[in-house]
């Protein structure tokens, strides 16, 4: 465990809500305000690297956050949403004023840690995971029973990391130093040395200066990382589920702002449209939606079209709402697969997906396409119509 750097800009004792007091922090679900490993170094190392940034560090049960965003003043419809959220958080930290319109950086850090834990809970609910069955990260799997990964964080040994930085230069400096990357946009990265999955974000992209947009963007990327870490990140799983689930999480926050993945060096397909139900319905009526057999063949985020984004979101929504257990079982079968010798097995995933889909959802691809399109159009199957 690293020693906390007593940088006066982010000294935990200056937090006006928990004052760095262990008892207050524990009551609010906060493990630490710094002094933990992060990236390939630790919080002190990142503070030294990004000395011009005021990073508020916060560690919750399943996440480690670095928040270097500015204060935020809520206005318009967003104010009501934020104040409802603050009322929940004030039950954990009584010094929070639930009626405030002004969010200082410490408060925003606490809010994002709280939001991340709610994202964790929603993922657990959707995937129907019994947390008691997750490994403790200490005892090695002995080859008996179902393999659930390597550690308690969906299967990872290390907590999920989130770093939110003010601008592009900060993000580039951090990613270059820590991982040898030169990207200028949000990046998700597997920190293999600590078995942790990270996302790094800067606020000068798209609408991320707006808290609601940033909140959804964080949820979008955490959905990706949680799915990657589910039963351990040892191989890639189908892109259509990844992107559809990430859109689902983001649009549960708000349909107003949307994130889109792209391949390295390519530009993401984007849209400012918020009513995706209407867009999907148009595609279905025009017979322009991709079919499941086409979606499972996608190998790169760069290959996703706007129709693919709309469709993957809608299909995941359909499965969660209409086939919740089957969707959970499908993902369980796709993750943590082992060969006879106990090594992880990523072979023949398209075949595995097709067979698991039929078994868990109860439909082949063509039958599923038809059932999903009928759902989009509000057509009730004849066997479900009451006589």
Q: Say whether both 226 and 248 belong to one domain.
A: no
Instruction: Find tokens 């005892």 and name the residue.
Output: 139
Burial class (CB in 10 A: 0-12, 13-18, 19+), 358: middle
Euclidean distance between CA atoms 111 and 250, whole angstroms: 16
Task: Tell me, yes or no, whether 5 lies in a domain.
Answer: no
pLDDT of residue 4: 46
Are residues 375 and 362 part of one domain? yes
Number of domains in the chain: 2
Residue 194 falls inside a structural domain: yes
Q: Is residue 295 part of a domain?
A: yes
Question: pTM for the whole thing?
Answer: 0.94
155 assigned to some structural domain? yes
Comparing CA positions, the residue from 296, 295, 292, 294 lying closest to residue 350 is 296
255-279 burial, b at 16+ Cβ within 10 Å, e below that, comes to: eebbbbbbeeeeebbeeeeeebeeb
Q: What is the pLDDT along the chain (387 residues), one digit of tens a residue?
A: 444 444 566 899 999 999 999 999 999 999 999 999 999 999 999 999 999 999 999 999 999 999 999 999 998 889 999 999 999 999 999 999 999 999 999 999 999 999 999 999 999 999 999 999 999 999 888 777 789 999 999 999 999 999 999 999 999 999 999 999 999 999 999 999 999 999 999 999 989 999 999 999 999 999 999 999 999 999 999 999 999 999 999 999 999 999 999 765 445 667 889 999 999 999 999 999 999 999 999 999 999 999 999 999 999 999 999 999 999 999 999 999 988 877 888 899 999 999 999 999 999 999 999 999 999 999 877 665 554
Query: Is there a single domain that holds both residue 221 and residue 240?
Result: no
Range of the domain at 45: 13-233
Name the DSSP letter for residue 320: H
Q: Do both 212 and 290 map to the same domain? A: no
Starting at the edge strand that comes first in sequence, how are the strands of the sheet with 63-67 ordered? 56-59, 63-67, 160-165, 196-202, 187-191
Residues 158 and 262 in one domain: no
């Amino acid at each position: 465990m690293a020693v906390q750097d007593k940088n006066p800009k982010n000294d935990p004792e200056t937090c006006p809500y928990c004052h760095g007091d262990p008892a207050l922090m524990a009551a609010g679900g906060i493990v630490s305000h710094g002094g933990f490993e992060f990236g390939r170094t630790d919080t002190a190392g990142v503070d030294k690297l990004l000395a011009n940034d005021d990073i508020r560090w916060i560690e919750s049960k399943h996440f480690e956050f670095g928040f270097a965003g500015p204060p935020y003043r809520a206005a318009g419809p967003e104010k009501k949403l934020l104040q409802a959220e603050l009322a929940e958080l004030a039950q954990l930290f009584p010094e929070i004023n639930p009626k405030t319109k002004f969010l200082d950086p410490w408060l925003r850090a606490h809010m994002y840690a709280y939001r991340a834990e709610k994202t964790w809970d929603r993922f657990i609910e959707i995937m129907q995971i019994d947390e008691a069955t997750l490994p403790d990260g200490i005892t090695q799997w002995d080859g008996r029973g179902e393999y659930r990964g390597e550690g308690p964080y969906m299967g990872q040994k290390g907590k999920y990391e989130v770093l939110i930085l003010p601008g592009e230069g900060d993000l580039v400096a951090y990613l270059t130093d820590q991982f040898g990357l030169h990207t200028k946009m949000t990046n998700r990265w597997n920190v293999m040395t600590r078995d942790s999955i990270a996302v790094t974000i800067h606020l000068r992209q798209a609408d991320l200066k707006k808290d609601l947009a940033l909140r959804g963007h964080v949820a979008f990327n955490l959905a990706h990382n949680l799915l990657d870490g589910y039963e351990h990140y040892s191989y890639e799983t189908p892109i259509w589920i990844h992107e559809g689930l990430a859109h689902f999480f983001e649009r549960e926050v708000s349909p107003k702002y949307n994130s889109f993945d792209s391949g390295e060096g390519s530009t993401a397909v984007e849209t400012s449209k918020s009513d995706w139900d209407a867009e999907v319905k148009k595609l279905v009526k025009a017979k322009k939606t991709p079919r499941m057999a086409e979606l499972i063949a996608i190998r790169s985020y760069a290959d996703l079209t706007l129709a693919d984004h709309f469709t993957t979101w809608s299909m995941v929504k359909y499965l969660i709402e209409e086939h919740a257990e089957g969707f959970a079982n499908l993902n369980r079968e796709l993750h943590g697969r082992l060969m006879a010798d106990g090594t992880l097995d990523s072979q023949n995933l398209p075949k595995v997906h097709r067979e698991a889909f039929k078994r868990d959802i109860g439909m082949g691809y063509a039958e599923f396409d038809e059932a999903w399109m009928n759902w989009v159009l509000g057509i009730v199957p004849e066997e479900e119509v009451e006589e």
